[in-house]
Amino acid sequence: MNGLNDLRVKIFADGADVGGMVDSYKLPYVKGFTTNPTLMRKAGVRDYRAFAQEVLAAIPDRPISFEVFSDDLAEMECQAREISAWGDNVYVKIPITNTLGQSSIELIARLSRAGVKVNVTAMMTERQVESAIGALAGGPPAFVSLFAGRIADTGRDPVPIVAAALDALRPHPHLELIWASPRELLNLFQADEVGCHVITMTNDLLAKLKVVGKDLDEFSLETVKMFRDDAVKAGYVLAPRASV
């Protein structure tokens, strides 16, 4: 297994807790950041602009993706143009469709032609990736987010789909593929092995990086100690039963 210093895939911290984002900014292996409305709501964010301004003031020099939240394509465009103006390191996340299943490809193409750096999000099929590439070709740098973790949730192996997406992206060096929604640390090494450009990782997954390469016998012993300590703390007792 490669160590962290040997990985080619870039790690982007995925979250919306400002303190956690700032802490991740101090980590040399975190190369960028992603957010979304679900993470923001979970973190208690109420004022979208104020949140973004606070984050950008603290993290001015690494890519950060903020997502539009309208379900109307015209309003999505207005939001995207404003969000894009917040900073040179800002990428605007546009979902591949709205909630009615209406394609956002024309909107993505229009934004890309206008110089907006887009992160096309919520994609799970090769067809969606190919349509996004067509919309982003010839534009500024952009990200294509394939939700590999959610693909895996359906019982499908995401690696062949990621590999096919990378093949489609190869003629477009300004486009980078993101392995989104990873479920376990193993996904980091899978993404690296297949040649994916970026993987997003929540704070919970980032915290697990400290066990990369850990001796498994040592890890086993620590696990046994954890079970024993918790049993003692819980005060579990199996008192002998009285004989009948």
The residues annotated as belonging to the active site are 93
Q: Exposed/middle/buried for 149, CB within 10 Å: 0-12, 13-18, 19+?
A: middle
> What does the alpha-carbon distance between residue 158 and residue 122 come to, in Å, rounded to a whole number?
14
> What does the alpha-carbon distance between residue 101 and residue 14 come to, in Å, rounded to a whole number?
25
Q: Residue type for 66, please?
A: F
Backbone Cα Rg of the chain: 21
